[in-house]
Amino acid sequence: MTLIFIKLIHIFAVFIYGGFLIIDNLFLVHIKKSYTIEEHKEIRESFMKYVRKVVPPSLIIAVISGGYLFSQIFGTISDDGMSSFQILLSIKAFLGLWLGVRGFAQVYLGIQPFVFKSHILPFLFVVIIIFLSQIIYL
Give the pLDDT mean for 74-96. 93
Q: What sections of the chain are H helices per DSSP? A: 2-26, 37-73, 84-107, 120-135
In the structure, what pLDDT confidence band is assigned to residue 116 with cuts at 50, 70 and 90? low
- Helix axis angle for 84-107 and 37-73, nearest 10°, is 140
9: number of Cβ within 10 Å: 16
Exposed / middle / buried, residue 109 (Cβ in 10 Å: 0-12, 13-18, 19+): exposed
- Is-contact 87 135, C-beta < 8 A? no
The reported pTM is: 0.85
Domain positions in the chain: 2-135
Comparing 88 with 25, the larger pLDDT belongs to 88
Listed range (21-25, 31-35, 97-101) with the worst mean pLDDT: 31-35
Helices 2-26 & 37-73 angle (0-180, nearest 10): 150
List beta partners, residue 78: 81
Do residues 75 and 37 make contact, with C-beta atoms less than 8 angstroms apart?
Answer: no
